[in-house]
Amino acid sequence: MKAIALTHYLPSDHPDCFIAANLHDPVPGPRDLLVRVTATSVNPVDTKVRSPKAKIESSPRVLGWDAVGEVIATGSEVTLFKAGDRVWYAGDISRPGSNSALQLVDERIAAIAPTTLSDVEAAALPLTAITAWETLFERFALTRESRGKLLIIGGAGGVGSIAIQLARQLTGMEVIATASRPESREWCLEMGAHQVVNHHKLQEELTALGITQVDAIFCTNATAEHWATMAGLIRPFGHICTIAESSEPWDLSLLKSKSVTFSQEFMFTRSLFQTPDMIEQHHLLGRVAALVDEGVLQTTLTRTIPSLTPVTLAQAHAEVEAGRMVGKLVIDMSGFAN
């Protein structure tokens, strides 16, 4: 099968950043789906995995953890899908990714894709929707009855865009998102935020709005930079969750006097550790697909790259690693397998 892969970990502007490779067709394990990929998105995780280092792969490594495609074969124990199904999933960080004509995915972390979106529109959502869903409804345990203020830091990014929609549509929380530019601010309002403040002047702009305290904070970006402000803003017994790692340690002692809960979310935990509840990702992706088809949620697609090549993939990585995405970038792979 065709794939765009890497053997060396190079900057995105290096001419050999990615290579075209011809790899053996993967063979499904018992619970695997073999999927012909028709669209993939690029997430910051792709750029972090690709980031320059001395390591050299002995065989080409395929990145990409967001896909829409058609099931063309199933493993011996698959019960949830059949050949011909159109599925969507983020996949498993420990397995080859979706920048290839064919990909294997465990059926417990895939679902039928929304019927009302094109492949490209749908591929914008799986990884970020899983991340936002697990944060809002598992870590924070929000419900339709939840009231109070939710601060989403990094509101216009891929995760923020779907987190705003989920919180606005499925809870009673007041959603305060952060964005620093006119276009990212406008996008947060379009996604459903009640208020938008600039993350570079977080305390100042919240104070100007009369907001001195929030009930929960979903930090999708620059956790260390916002740490002291978050510790000051969160209410007693409130909850802060971050998805963004940091090179600096977080001073948890700042949260003690208010008995604040701090948690981390990593959407690959279930697949990486094959947790007994990993099928929850099948269920939640199914719920998200239904909500899209009911018109409750919308795609977060803002940028489409028309084909997958070593050059276009490197360009996509450069755009994502610039850290200024509004919504999501997706690569159309409909002609890739030919």
Ligand X SMILES: NC(=O)c1ccc[n+]([C@@H]2O[C@H](COP(=O)([O-])OP(=O)(O)OC[C@H]3O[C@@H](n4cnc5c(N)ncnc54)[C@H](OP(=O)(O)O)[C@@H]3O)[C@@H](O)[C@H]2O)c1
Q: What CA–CA distance (Å, rounded) separates 265 from 300?
A: 21
Binding ligand X (rule: CB under 6 A), the pick from 28, 64, 69, 160 is: 160
Which of 1, 49, 222, 272 is in the footprint of ligand X by CB under 6 A?
222
Among 267, 285, 289, 305, binds ligand X (CB under 6 A): 267
Read off φ and ψ for residue 336, nearest 5 degrees. Answer: -70, -40
Stretch of 73-81, 189-197, 259-267, 273-281 lying at the interface with ligand X (CB under 6 A): 259-267
Of 302, 248, 279, 300, residue with least CA distance to 132: 300
Q: Is 273 in the site for ligand X (CB under 6 A)?
A: no
Query: What is the Cα–Cα distance from 23 to 145, expressed in whole angstroms?
Result: 50
The window from 6-14, 31-39, 40-48, 74-82 that contacts ligand X (CB under 6 A) reads 40-48
Number of chain positions touching ligand X (CB under 6 A): 32
Which CB, 34 or 326, lies closer to ligand X?
Answer: 326
In the region spanning residues 235 to 254, those forming contacts with ligand X, defined by CB under 6 A, are 243-244
One symbol per residue from 201 to 220: x for binding ligand X (CB under 6 A), - otherwise; what is it? -------------------x
The answer to the question of residue 157 lying near ligand X (CB under 6 A) is yes
Pick the closest to residue 87 from 50, 30, 35 (CA basis).
Answer: 35
Cα–Cα distance, 171 to 76 (Å, whole number): 40
Measured from the CB atom, the residue of 21 and 179 that comes closer to ligand X is 179
* Pair 33, 104: CB distance under 8 Å: yes
Q: Does an H or E element contain 224, and which?
A: helix 223-233
E strand or H helix at 175: strand 174-178
Residue numbers of the site for ligand X (CB under 6 A)? 43-45, 128, 131, 153-154, 156-160, 178-181, 184, 199, 220-222, 225, 243-244, 265-267, 320, 323-326
